[in-house]
Amino acid sequence: MDQPVTNEAPVLSVDDLSKRFGGVQAVDKVSLDIAPGRITGVIGPNGSGKSTLFNLMTGVARADSGAVTFQGTDITRLSSDRINRLGIGRTFQLTRLFGKMSAIENLVVVSRHDRATAERNAAELLDLVSLGHVRDEYAENLSYGQQKLLEFVRLMMTDPSLIMLDEPFAGVNPIMERRLLDTMRAWLDAGKTIVLTDHEMAIMMEICDDLYVLDYGEVIAHGPPAVIRDDERVMEAYFGR
C-alpha cells in the first residue's frame, strides 16, 4: 500500500481535494499522485466520484477545497482551456463532440496547425480507429461506440503529455477495444502519461500500473493491481451491499 510505482516525481498531484453537490460529498479529501510514463487507474462503484474527480483535475468543475498541481504549476483554479493548453487532454464519459459537425471537422477544429496539416493528421487518426468511412457524417449520427472512438482520437490532435480517459471502453466493440489498448501503449512509448477510469475490471487490472479505489468520494485503497485485487475493502465496496 502507498508504495510509489516509480521514484520519479509525479507529473500531477492531487492534494486533499473535495467537492460537494448539495447533500452529496462527491469527492472527499482525495490525494493522489500520477507517475510519469505510466497508466494510473481510478476505479470504484457507480457514483463513487470518479468523473467528478476528473472534472476537478481538468478545470471542468471547481473544487471546494484542496489543490491540483501539474508539473509544478498549481492548476486548481485554471479554466479547462488553460489546462488543456498546459498539456492535459481528456475524454468525457458522455462524449462532448460537436454533433452538427462532421467526424473529420470535429478533429480539424481543435488542431493548432494549418488546415492542410490538420486535415492530414485527422484523416490518419480516423483510419487508426476505422472511422475513415464515416469521416463526413455528422458526429451525432455516429453510434455511441464510434463517438467514443472519435473523441479518443480527437485527443491526439493537440498532442497532450497527460491523457485522462473517462470510460473509454464503454460501448466499444472488442476489436476496437484492443486497438485502443494498442494505441494507449504507443502513447506510453512516446513518453505520455495516462489516467484512466473504467468499469471493465479485467482490462483495468491488465493495463494499469497503479490503482486508486474510490468509494463515496474517498480513496479507500491504493496500490498495484495484484494488491488491489485481494483488498477486502475493495471487495466490500463492489460486492458487499
Q: Which of residues 79-98 bind ligand ATP (CB under 6 A)?
A: 93
- Closest separation in Å from C-beta 42 to ligand ATP: 8
Contact positions toward Mg ion, by CB under 5 A? Answer: 50-51, 93
Question: Is residue 160 a contact point for ligand ATP (CB under 6 A)?
Answer: no
**Residue 47 contacts which entry, ligand ATP, Mg ion, none (Cβ below 5-8 A, type-dependent):** ligand ATP
- Closest separation in Å from C-beta 28 to ligand ATP: 10
Residue 91 CA to residue 180 CA, distance in Å, equals 13
Q: How many residues does the chain have?
A: 241
Nearer to Mg ion, 52 or 121 (CB): 52
Choose the binding region for ligand ATP from 42-50, 102-110, 140-148, 150-158 (rule: CB under 6 A): 42-50
Among 11, 12, 14, 26, binds ligand ATP (CB under 6 A): 26
Question: DSSP label at 132?
Answer: G
Question: Is residue 51 a contact point for ligand ATP (CB under 6 A)?
Answer: yes
Beta strands in 121-239 (DSSP E): 162-166, 193-197, 210-215, 218-223
Coil vs helix vs strand at 149: helix
CA-based diameter of the chain, in Å?
55
**Residue 26 contacts which entry, Mg ion, ligand ATP, none (Cβ below 5-8 A, type-dependent):** ligand ATP
Question: Is residue 21 a contact point for ligand ATP (CB under 6 A)?
Answer: yes
Is 13:193 a contact under the CB 8 Å cutoff?
no
Among 44, 59, 160, 223, binds ligand ATP (CB under 6 A): 44
Q: How many CA atoms lie within 13 A of 234 on its CB side?
A: 19
Q: At what angle do helices 174-189 and 144-156 cross, to 10 degrees?
A: 10
Is 87:162 a contact under the CB 8 Å cutoff?
yes
Report the run of H or E that residue 51 belongs to, with start and end: helix 50-57
Choose the binding region for ligand ATP from 20-28, 29-37, 132-140, 219-227 (rule: CB under 6 A): 20-28
Question: Is residue 48 a contact point for ligand ATP (CB under 6 A)?
Answer: yes
Binding interface with ligand ATP (CB under 6 A): 21, 24, 26, 44, 46-52, 93
